[in-house]
Amino acid sequence: MKEFVWKNEEVRKLHVKRKGKVVYLTYPELEEIPMVLHGFTTRVGGVSKDIYSSMNLSFSRGDEEETVIENFHRIAAAIGFPYESIVCSDQTHTTNVMEVTAKDRGKGITRSKDYTDVDGLITNDPNVTLATFYADCVPLFFVDPVHKAIGLSHSGWKGTANKIGQVTIEKMRETYGTDPKDIFAAIGPSICQDCYEISEEVAVKFKEEFLIEKENGKYKLDLWKANEKNLAECNVPMEQIYLPNLCTCCNPKLLFSHRASKGKRGNLAAFLKIKLD
């Protein structure tokens, strides 16, 4: 397997985990919290072919359904959660965040979803595994060990501009009594500022501190720092917010990237689950 290209070789990295042929990523800081399992997938260890090679976790991009199902089985076994426990988001770049429980097990996997336009999921139920999907956008992991609650949200530029991270935290506060100061938050592998060129129309939605202006009138946007700032503004302690140091677009052989592949790709996934006692 090729080695990952890290944005800063001196910064503490994600753990690269291997189980059989499956390779996935974890945050060492989240691994130290006994109540949760988590992981972020790579392209390695699945059975998909061609542009989907090989751990594609999307049913909607043209891959064979049976192949995607096998990939889900493989990643579930590697990380250590039941395949049947997965609950999938329905991502359309909204800031809608939904609570899920055991009654939602299998939605998007073993049965159809009965909801639409959901980019964030929260739960305090150890019988479900939250799943969201990526190919450059930003995964946001939330763990509240005090109230034993978790959240997982998808944040592209629209979600970042509209602060889905803050919406997720507020939903956890309303539903479980979460105090932001107790949250451990991880910003997952996604496109870095060097790779993410945007138009002025998008740039005006962000503060100058997250932008680098280019000579062609376009800008480069730092989604990592923008999401970090959003979380810090909610009073999540900075020392409890973990950046990825890993860009999807810089690693197109190991991670799916919409920009690097010009849209010819599968999907990565983030998973988060409360462990059963």
Can you read off the two tokens belonging to residue 146?
Answer: 């005090």
**Closest to 109 measured CA to CA, from 158, 80, 71:** 71
Q: Give the whole-angstrom CA distance, residue 27 versus residue 16.
A: 9
The answer to whether the beta carbons of residues 4 and 17 sit under 8 Å apart is no
pTM above 0.95, yes or no: yes
Can you read off the two tokens belonging to residue 15?
Answer: 């753990």
**Closest to 90 measured CA to CA, from 41, 57, 139, 131:** 131
Q: What's the N-to-C CA distance of the chain in angstroms? A: 36
Q: Give the whole-angstrom CA distance, residue 84 versus residue 97.
A: 22
The CATH number that domain 15-274 falls under is 3.60.140.10
Q: What is the pLDDT of residue 167?
A: 98
Q: Concatenated DSSP letters for 105-153?
A: TTBTTTB--S--SB-EEEE--TT-EEEEEESSSEEEEEEETTTTEEEEE
Q: What is the CA radius of gyration of the chain?
A: 17
Tell me the residue type at 123: T
What is the pLDDT tens value at each position of the chain, 277 positions in all?
789 999 998 887 799 999 999 999 999 999 999 999 999 999 999 999 999 999 999 999 999 999 999 999 999 999 999 999 999 999 999 999 999 999 999 999 999 999 999 999 999 999 999 999 999 999 999 999 999 999 999 999 999 999 999 999 999 999 999 999 999 999 999 999 999 999 999 999 999 999 999 999 999 999 999 999 999 999 999 999 999 999 999 999 999 999 999 999 999 999 999 999 7
What backbone phi and psi angles, to 5 degrees, belong to 168? -65, -45
Q: Is 8 exposed, middle or buried (0-12, 13-18, 19+ CB in 10 A)?
A: exposed
Q: Which residue(s) pair with 197 in the sheet?
A: 220
**Closest to 209 measured CA to CA, from 192, 195, 232, 229:** 229
The answer to whether the beta carbons of residues 129 and 86 sit under 8 Å apart is yes
Tell me the residue type at 262: K
Q: What is the pLDDT of residue 2?
A: 83
The answer to whether the beta carbons of residues 267 and 134 sit under 8 Å apart is yes
